[in-house]
DNA sequence: ACCCAGGTGGCCC
DNA sequence: GGGCCACATGGG
């Protein structure tokens, strides 16, 4: 019930987010893998390297030497493991779908999600990002911001990925464009406003946000981290 | 000198 | 099923 209202507020405040920035389906997939726990700025640098060297292509990544690929994706961080993950994906694509994204994307969305999850290095968020932003099928993407923000809002009790995903999908029409925009707006809010401190005065969700609860959560999270760090 | 970023898998209990 | 950890670059 609240999910639609929050979307409206975010959209009114921030407008179209123009996600995903990738030019091709494959570029979206590469971006989805490289952006794991990395800033998009760093991912852009890595993708730029791939483009400059004309490597941003399924078959070329399939054939390229791992060491070479590692060098190119280095700016995105975790570069050895991410190079391996890109290889894992294209290996999967060529061995099971003749290297054809078109064939892969013919799968029904839940089936597509399932096979993507079978690739080592593609977890739930990456799989959903690929289903939604590359294959254009309505699979709501959940990330750390989504769980943090909606828990603080009191809209969510559950923090488990699949349950959170179901909560969004059961409250919204199955609309690819809406799912794309909503996730992008949540990330925008998380990055710019709800990051380290709840700036409720500037937040488009003011009035829905329990300020005290938010503050308490922050304090708890901080002290828990500090406790760990100083031990 | 910290902290954080559009996570994931492996290992342990 | 949950808690920890490694993975690594670039920016605040």
Query: CA-CA distance, A210 to A136, in Å (whole number)?
Result: 35
CA–CA–CA angle A224, A126, A169 (5° rounding): 85
- Return residues with beta carbons within 7 A of strand B: A 19-21, 31-32, 35-40, 42, 77-78, 81, 119-127, 129, 133, 143-145, 187, 190-191, 195-196, 225, 229
Output the pLDDT for position A105: 98
CA distance A193 to A59: 41
pLDDT digits (tens, 9 = 90+) for A24-54: 999 999 999 999 999 999 999 999 999 999 9
Among protein residues, the one whose C-alpha sits closest to the C1' atom of C9 is A77
pLDDT at A22: 87
Q: Which nucleotide is nearest to A188 (CA to C1')?
A: B6
Query: Which strand C bases fall within 7 angstroms of a protein CB?
Result: 1-2, 5, 7-11
Domains of chain A, first to last: 2-15+142-229 (1.10.1670.10), 25-134 (1.10.340.30)
Low-confidence residues of chain A: pLDDT under 50: 196, 210-231
Separation of CA A12 and C1' C5 in angstroms? 41
pTM: 0.90
């Amino acid at each position: 019930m609240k999910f639609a209202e929050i979307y409206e507020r975010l959209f009114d405040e921030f407008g179209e987010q123009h996600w995903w920035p990738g030019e091709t389906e494959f570029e979206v997939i590469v971006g989805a893998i490289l952006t794991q726990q990395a800033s998009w700025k760093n991912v852009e640098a890595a993708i730029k390297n791939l483009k400059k060297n004309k490597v941003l292509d399924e078959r070329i990544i399939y054939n390229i030497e791992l060491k070479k690929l590692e060098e190119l994706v280095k700016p995105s961080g975790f570069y050895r493991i991410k190079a391996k993950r890109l290889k894992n994906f294209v290996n999967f694509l060529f061995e099971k779908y003749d290297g054809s994204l078109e064939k892969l994307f013919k799968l029904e969305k839940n089936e597509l999600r399932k096979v993507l999850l079978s690739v080592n290095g593609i977890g739930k968020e990456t799989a959903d990002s690929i289903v939604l932003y590359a294959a254009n099928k309505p699979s709501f993407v959940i990330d750390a911001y989504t769980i943090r923000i909606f828990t603080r809002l009191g809209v969510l009790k559950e923090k488990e990925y699949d349950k959170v995903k179901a909560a969004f999908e059961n409250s919204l029409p199955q609309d690819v464009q809406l799912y794309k925009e909503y996730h992008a707006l949540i990330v925008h809010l998380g990055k710019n406003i709800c990051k380290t401190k709840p700036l409720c005065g500037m937040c488009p969700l003011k009035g829905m946000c329990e300020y005290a609860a938010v503050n308490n959560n922050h304090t708890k999270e901080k002290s828990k981290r500090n406790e760990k760090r100083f031990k």
